[in-house]
Amino acid sequence: MTAAPATPRDLSDLSVGQEIARTTHEITRDTLVRYAGASGDFNPIHYNDTVATDAGLPGVIAHGMLTMGVAVTGLLDALGDPTTVRAYSVRFTNPVPVPATGSVTLEVVAVVGAIDEGAGTARVDIAAEVDGTKVLGRARATIALPTATADSDQVATA
């Protein structure tokens, strides 16, 4: 993955269209093995080329939930506090083929799509691609905006 921002993003002055994070993530067969062990998802389409191609896939593919999880990490790093994310959802549009040797690169960009001042939230649209092909559709995170605390900075004196 590319380097995370040194300090969390200031969310007090977001604007629609503002890029919050841009990251790249290398996914290898080793990544798939580790994810399978952690998740318990040992479906052979994630490690056996013959099974994957017999199922009509281009070869071994990354787990959908692995792709979803990796895609949000740049945003989480930029926010600095993962509890800022109130919701996250995606549609899986294309598989992520993972070569037997080497890696595939997942490129991710997170951009402010909408701001709801009344609700105190912003929608962040996440674009995830491999070799120019969109692999997640309608990937969106709802994040909490900071609350105004004008009085909290003042110390009351008796």
97 located within any domain: yes
- Asked, for residue 93, whether it belongs to a domain, the answer is yes
131: in domain: yes
- What is the count of structural domains for the chain? 1
Q: What is the pTM of this model?
A: 0.87
Q: For the segment 115-142, what is each residue's pLDDT rounded down to a tens digit?
A: 999 999 999 999 999 999 999 999 999 9
**Secondary structure of the chain in the HEC alphabet?**
CCCCCCCCCCCCCCCCCCEEEEEEEEECHHHHHHHHHHHCCCCHHHCCHHHHHHCCCCCCECCHHHHHHHHHHHHHHHHCCHHHEEEEEEEECCCCECCCCCCEEEEEEEEEEEEECCCCEEEEEEEEEECCEEEEEEEEEEEECCCCCCHHHCCCCC
The pLDDT tens digits of the residues spanning 24-35 come to 999 999 999 999
Residue 2 in any domain: the answer is: no
The reply to whether 5 falls in a domain is no
CATH code of residue 68: 3.10.129.10
Inform me whether the pLDDT recorded for 8 exceeds 80. no
Domain membership flag for residue 72: yes
**Residue 151 resides in a domain:** no
Q: Is residue 153 over pLDDT 80? A: no
The mean pLDDT of 67-81, rounded to a whole number, is 97
